[in-house]
Amino acid sequence: MRRKVIAGNWKMNNDLTGSKDLINKLVQELKNEKYNCEVIICPPFTSLAEAGNLLKGSSIMLGAQNMHEEESGAFTGEISASMIKSTGSRYVILGHSERRTIFKESDQLINKKLKAALKNGLKPIFCIGETLEEREKNITNNVLKRQVTVGLEGISETELKDIIIAYEPVWAIGTGRTATPAQAEDAHNFIRNLIKEKYSKNAAENIIIQYGGSVKPDNSGELLSQPDIDGALVGGACLKADSFIAIIKSA
C-alpha cells in the first residue's frame, strides 16, 4: 500500500509574516483534524528557516521549491542542497514546469539537481508533464518518457526510493483546467510502467506519483481515488489554510 502525499507549492507567495500566519493556521487546524496522508509545504527560501522552527513537533514536513546543483561556490543568488537541509527541510521540488519554461531548465540540468539533492539527503519531488501543444500533437507519452529517462539517468533503484514523481500537465497548472481523472490516471499508469521498465516491478509499485495542476477541494477526491494517483502537488489552493486542509482531508 502506497501512502498518499499532499504537497503545497507556495511558489513566489508569502513574505515572512504571511508565511508565519499560514503555517500557524495549518499547524493549529490540522491538530484537530483526522487525515490519512503525509503533508509537505514548500514555502519560498526566505521563509524556510522560520518554517523549520514553527514546524518542530508538527507532522507537517518542509520542502524547498528549487535548488542549485553545485555544493557551494561563486553562484551569486543561488541556494545549495545543504543550505536547504539546514533549515529543517527534507524535500525539494525539482523540474517544476515553471523552472523548465521560464528559467529554461533542461532535463540534463534537472538530472544533476536530482543527484545533488539525493547526495545531500534531500528527497526530490521530481516534476514532469507535457505542454498543451505536446498533448495536442499526441506526443504526451514521448515527452514523459524523455523526461523520466533523462531526469533519472544514473539514479539507482535504492536512490529512487527517496524520489516522489509529480505528474503536472503544463496546461493544467494555474489555469483552472484540470486533467480529467481518466486523463490523469492514464498518464500516471504510463509513468509507473516506465519505472517498471527502467527499474523493477517492485520499484514501480512503491513509487509515489502525485498529480498537480489546478487541484482544488472540489476535484481532489476524485483524482486521488484513481489507482495510480498517490497524492497531489497543489499550487493556488495551498495558499489558504481552509482549501489546503480540505484537499488533505480528501486524500
CA separation for the pair 199, 111 (Å, rounded): 17
Residue 192 in grid coordinates: 509507473
Closer to ligand PGA by Cβ: residue 51 or 211 = 211
Cβ atoms < 10 Å from Cβ of 83: 19
Which residues in 152-183 are b (16+ Cβ under 10 Å) and which e? beebeeebbebbbbbbbbbbbbeeeebbebee
Name the minimum Å distance from CB 202 to ligand PGA.
28
CB closer to ligand PGA, 122 vs 233: 233
| Comparison of 94 and 173: residue with beta carbon closer to ligand PGA | 173
What b/e readout covers 108-121, taking b as 16+ CB neighbours within 10 angstroms? ebbbbbbbbbbebe
Cβ closest to ligand PGA, residue 11 vs residue 204? 11
> Minimum distance between the CB of residue 184 and ligand PGA, rounded to whole angstroms?
13
Confirm whether 197 is a catalytic residue: no
Residues lying near ligand PGA in the complex (CB under 6 A): 9, 168, 173-174, 212-215, 233-237
Residue 58: all three cell numbers together: 508538527
Does the annotation count 96 as an active-site position?
yes
- List the catalytic residue out of 130, 134, 168, 185: 168
CB of 237 to ligand PGA, least distance (A): 6
Shortest distance (Å) from residue 18 CB to ligand PGA: 17
Looking at beta carbons, which residue is closest to ligand PGA?
A: 235
Between residues 67 and 204, which has the closer beta carbon with respect to ligand PGA?
Answer: 67
**Minimum distance, C-beta of residue 121 to ligand PGA, in the bound complex (Å):** 23
- From 68, 69, 96, 130, active-site residue: 96
* Residues annotated as catalytic (active site), given as ranges: 96, 168
